[in-house]
Structure 1
């Protein structure tokens, strides 16, 4: 088994997990809640989505041939709340993730040791993937946390519910050991 191929498949599974986690959090919100901020120093979910979108397009467009910080990226503008509809927000969310996933799926195991640049600093492709696997879940966590605060008691847990660990583990440990395999639909 080629470990570099396993790495690429595992990275895609992890990105898809966090994409779906963010979507499941946003689905629970009313449209106006996507744009809520507590003060001028906090970002709405819409602003976090806009930042992820800008980062993904910049980092993953022509990932092997151009610097990941594109000259056309306006990072500071990503933190201006100018999305106005759920549809616009979700369109940008999908556009960013589609760019990332298309780039990731175009990579071969041989690419992982290739040097690429982000802000003129060299990274192997594997390092760049790991960098984004730390960055994007950080922001998805912000989305989930914000959504949970906004929903208060009507929040539907996205993981093991509070005080549910024992019954969850009982269900897991009464079954034979397995390895999670994602279906094509889960990966797309």
Structure 2
């Protein structure tokens, strides 16, 4: 399980780093820009990721009281780039700290998500996938906005010893 935890932790670090690198390239108006009325802004996507973390990790694993307003995550928001960077760093810190502190028994404990039971390990794996999907949307929006000025966020792979 230690290797799985390390692999997941590395994945969460890469997602966090790439999202922060994108945010650093944009201004407040750009992070709140929506391609059209039925699409999300980068700020919506980050609020949604944070809501997911607070619900599944904070409330579900760490037993921190939280009431999620999932629909509200997709309403029009105007959030500063700096607040979004802080939000991402705080949210991913909670994910990584919770993951690395959890023993094998904790990883195999279940919680109800939606209408099914999942182990905490399944939730971490699903979260890494979910956050990667939204990271792709964030990168795409940034590429649209920055065009030729977009700086890639690709991070070299860590060497394993």
- TM-score, normalised on structure 2? 0.87
Bigger radius of gyration, 1 or 2? 1
- Alignment-derived partner of residue 59 in structure 1: 56
Alignment of structure 1 residues 16-31 onto 2, 5 Å? 16-31=13-28
What is the aligned residue count?
160
Question: Does 1:107 find its partner at 2:102?
Answer: yes
Alignment of structure 1 residues 107-126 onto 2, 5 Å? 107-126=102-121
Question: Does 1:42 find its partner at 2:21?
Answer: no
* CA shift in 2, pair 1:94/1:159, >3 Å: closer
Alignment of structure 1 residues 96-175 onto 2, 5 Å? 96-159=91-154
Of 34-43 and 111-120, more deviation after overlay is shown by 111-120
CA RMSD of aligned residues (A): 2.4
Q: Distance in 2 between matches of 1:11 and 1:94?
A: 16
- Alignment-derived partner of residue 7 in structure 2: 10
Q: Distance in 1 between matches of 2:6 and 2:112?
A: 23
Q: Structure 1: state its 5+ residue gaps.
A: 161-177, 183-188
Q: Distance in 1 between matches of 2:78 and 2:144?
A: 21
Q: Distance in 2 between matches of 1:73 and 1:179?
A: 35
Q: Distance in 2 between matches of 1:9 and 1:109?
A: 13
Which segments of structure 1 move beyond 3 Å, counting only runs of 4 or more?
Answer: 62-66
* CA shift in 2, pair 1:31/1:65, >3 Å: closer
- Alignment-derived partner of residue 74 in structure 1: 69
Contact 2:27 2:81 in 1 (8 A): no
Find the residue that maps to 2:118 and give its secondary structure: strand
- TM-score, normalised on structure 1? 0.76
Q: Distance in 2 between matches of 1:38 and 1:120?
A: 33
Q: Distance in 2 between matches of 1:138 and 1:87?
A: 22
Find the residue that maps to 1:159 and give its secondary structure: coil
